[in-house]
Amino acid sequence: MKPMAVAEDPVRRLDTQKIDNAVKQEMEKQSLVGVSIGVIQNNSIVYVQGYGLANRQTQTPMTSKSIVNWASCSKPLAAVRVMQLVQNGKLDLDAPIVDYLPKLPEHLQKITTRQLLCHQSGVPHYANGFIFPGKYPDASDDRLDPLYSLSRFLNARLIFEPGTRMEYSSYAYVLLSAVIQSAGGLPMQKQIETEMIQPLKLNSFQLDMEYADQPNWSVGYRVVGGDIKAQPDVAHYWKHGAGGYKSNVEDFARFTLAMMQYELITRETSQTMWTRQKLKDDTETVYGLGVRVDGGDQSLRIWHNGSQEETKTQLVFYPEKKSGVVVMCNTYDCKTAQVISAIEKAVANGRNE
């Protein structure tokens, strides 16, 4: 398939052959089945391309149209929606979440939205605490309602006092999705659609529902005992902002570009989101509000990765350099950071020649 150039670099045309070679070398080194990438330069998506296979059984190639789970790269999108609500005066980052969810169990009531965003809530992740189910009193039986999803872990005890540690938690982002729904006054998915997806025209973006002969769907794989095995499809819709979304790489790159260009929230609000958060004892962490943050000033690097049974993803961008890279892979064993590093080196080498 002919590579798709979305926009040309205004300084010098991108050396796409070097990028292709770099990705293919990483795929061979890591035994990856399918990879799709997007490259951003000078605030433009300059290259998107797929490599390998979306489905080994049918020999369907991976393309820029192949649908892949975002996994935890859904978290930055949820965070941007939070910051939109903050801008509009509908949500206070430092108010207790009981203000938005008044029937929460007592142990969750004093957590703030900021603490959910920066993983300082004490809510456990999947396997680092004792998970006890419990139904939120106002929850319906609509499985697409974040309040319904809370039933999986609502009575799980906190693993630390909020604000005293940073420990990654997807359950915290399921709870955050319920806060977003309440503060925004509309179903979570409706808010995402009207305030983010439609403005950006992300036509392939969707909740990760059960597979039903969806066009362009990418099968997930895993290396088991030296063999590559197809993985059963898992519907992650219930996670919402924790890891419930999927799209093709074109839309994944488009969302990343929108964050870079302050299309969904202002520059000032973005800088708040990109500020490393501190614990109560003033210790600075590696996490901002929904994103990981490295460096500073001209070298500021914003990123997040995602991992689920069928996928590995990562988005990286440098706001001051106006550049970024996104990667989606349908092989669980993928080391996305190595793929991104190879692409960045290929881009730099192409510039230097």
Residue 52 near residue 14, CB atoms below 8 Å: no
At residue 235's C-alpha, the angle toward residues 233 and 237, to 5°, is 155
Q: Which CATH architecture best describes the domain 16-73+215-352?
A: 3-Layer(aba) Sandwich (3.40)
Q: What is the pTM of this model?
A: 0.94
The torsion of the CA quartet 234, 61, 249, 189, rounded to 10 degrees, works out to -40
The 8-class DSSP code of residue 194 comes to I
Helix H or strand E segment including 312: strand 311-318
Query: What superfamily in CATH does domain 76-189 come from?
Result: DD-peptidase/beta-lactamase superfamily (3.40.710.10)
What is the C-alpha to C-alpha distance for residues 353 and 349, in angstroms, rounded to an integer? 7
Task: State the pLDDT at residue 10.
Answer: 41
Task: State the pLDDT at residue 11.
Answer: 38
Task: State the pLDDT at residue 2.
Answer: 44
User: Which residue from 288, 26, 9, 318 is spatially nearest to 37, judged by alpha carbons?
Assistant: 26
Where do you find CATH 3.40.710.10 in the chain? 16-73+215-352, 76-189
The torsion of the CA quartet 184, 189, 192, 197, rounded to 10 degrees, works out to -160
The total of other beta-carbon atoms located within 10 Å of residue 350's CB is 17
What is the C-alpha to C-alpha distance for residues 85 and 154, in angstroms, rounded to an integer? 24
For every one of its 353 residues, what pLDDT tens digit does the chain have, with 9 covering 90 and above?
Answer: 444 555 444 435 789 999 999 999 999 999 999 999 999 999 999 999 999 999 999 999 999 999 999 999 999 999 999 999 999 999 999 999 999 999 999 999 999 999 999 999 999 999 887 899 999 998 989 999 999 999 999 999 999 999 999 999 999 999 999 999 999 999 999 999 999 999 999 999 999 998 777 789 999 999 998 899 999 999 999 999 999 999 999 999 999 999 999 999 999 999 999 999 999 999 999 999 999 999 988 899 999 999 999 999 999 999 999 999 999 999 999 999 999 999 999 999 877 65
Task: State the pLDDT at residue 353.
Answer: 58
Based on C-alpha coordinates, what's the Rg of the chain?
A: 20
